[in-house]
Amino acid sequence: MSHATTGTSAGETVAPQRVAQLAAEIDLRDPSTILRFGSEAQSRATAAADAMLGAARNQATGEAGEALSGLLTTLRGFDVTQLSEKPGLMGRLARLAGRGQTQAVAIIQRYENVRGQIEAAGDRLDGHRTRLLEDVERLERLYGATLEWFHALAEHIAAGEAVLARTDSEVIPAAERDAADPAQPLAPQRLRDLRAARDELDRRVHDLRLTRQVAMQSLPGLRLIQENDKALAAKIHSVLANTVPLWRTQLAQALAIQNMREAGSAVRAATDLTNRLLTANAETLRQGNIEARTELERGVFDLAAVQQANAALVATLEDSLRIAEEGRAARRQATVELARAEAEIRRALTASRPGP
C-alpha cells in the first residue's frame, strides 16, 4: 500500500512542516498516540454541528419573515390609490347633501388607526434585522473556524498517510526480516503488533477523512444560511427605508390630489352656478325686453280691434238699411192690402140692395 505524503485525496495543499510535526507525534508502539491522533481536530465537529443546528433552529428568521409579511399585508390592505379614483354617484350625492365626511378625512382617520400597527411592525422588523446581522457575523466566524478545522483535518490525514506509507515501505519490511530471524523469537509478535497498530492508524485516518467530508459539507450549508439571513435583512432594510416611506409619500400625494379634486369640484360648482345665473339673467332680460317693446310698439287701438269695430259698424249700417227697406216693403204691401180691403168693402156695400 502506498499513499501520497504531500496532500490528501481531495487535492488540498498542506504545510509540510506541520505534516512532519504531526507525523512525529505518532508512535506505532504506543497505541494511545494513535487514539489521540486527530481527536482535537475531530472534537471541532461537535461544535460545528451544534452551531449549524442552532442556526437552523433560529426562530429570528421565521419571526422576521412573518413580521415582514404582516407589515406588507397591512400596507396592501390600506389602499390609498382609491383616493385617485373618481367618486361614484352615491359619494357625490352624499357630499352634495352634506350627509358624510369627505373621503380624505375618512382616509386620514383610517391612517391614524393603522399607523400604530405599522410603527410597531417596523420596530419588530428592525429588531429582527439586528439579530439577523448578528447571526451573519457569527456564521462568518463559524465559517472561518470550520475552514481552519477542515485544513487541520487535511494536515492530520496527510500526516497519517505519510506514516502509513513509511510503515508500509520501511518499518513493516524491516520487521518481517527480523521475524524471519530465528535469533529473535519475539520479532513475530512485534510484527503482529506493528501490523495491528498500522491497521488501527489506517482506520483512524479513514475516520478523519469522514470527518473532513462532514466539514466540507458544512461549509456550503453555513454560506446558504448566511446568505438567506443577509437577503432577509436586506429585504427588511429595503422595506423600512423604501416601501414604508414611499407608502406614506403616496398617501400624502393622494390626500393632496383629493383635496385638490374637492377644491376643483367646489370651484366647478361655483362656476356652474355663476354661468346658470348669468344665463338666467340674460334670458330674463331678453323676455322682459320682448314684452316691453311689444307693448311699446302697439298702437292705442289694435288694427284687429279697429277692423272688428268697423265690421260691426258696417254690419249695423247694413242691418239698419235692410230693416228700413223691409219696413218700406211692408208698408207698401200694407197699403196695397188696405186698398184691396177698402175696395172689397165698397164692392160689398155697392152690391147690397134693399128688399121689396
**Cα 33 to the chain's mean position, in Å?**
66
Task: Check residue 90 and give its pLDDT.
Answer: 40
Catalogue the long-range contacts made by 197-201 (C-beta closer than 8 Å, 24 or more residues apart).
Answer: 197/28, 197/29, 197/31, 197/34, 198/28, 198/164, 198/167, 198/168, 198/172, 200/31, 200/34, 201/26, 201/28, 201/34, 201/37, 201/160, 201/163, 201/164, 201/167
Task: Check residue 69 and give its pLDDT.
Answer: 65
In terms of pTM, does the model score above 0.75?
Answer: no
3-state secondary structure 266-327: HHHHHHHHHHHHHHHHHHHHHHHHHHHHHHHHCCCCCHHHHHHHHHHHHHHHHHHHHHHHHH
**DSSP string for residues in 65-119:** HHHHHHHHHHHHHS-GGGGGSPP-HHHHHHHHHT-S--HHHHHHHHHHHHHHHHH
Terminal-residue alpha carbon distance, the chain: 218
Mean pLDDT, consecutive 10-residue stretches, the chain (356 aa), reads: 43 76 85 83 67 56 60 59 49 43 62 67 78 85 85 89 91 87 86 90 90 85 87 82 74 74 84 90 89 73 78 88 90 90 86 62
- The single-letter code of the amino acid at 93 is L
Task: Check residue 99 and give its pLDDT.
Answer: 41
Task: Check residue 96 and give its pLDDT.
Answer: 41
Asked if 125 and 71 count as a contact pair (C-beta separation under 8 A), the reply is yes
Task: Check residue 158 and give its pLDDT.
Answer: 92
Task: Check residue 152 and give its pLDDT.
Answer: 87
Task: Check residue 352 and give its pLDDT.
Answer: 62
How many Cβ atoms from other residues are within 10 Å of residue 149's Cβ?
24
Count how many Cα atoms sit within 13 Å of the Cα of residue 128 in the half-sphere of its side chain.
27
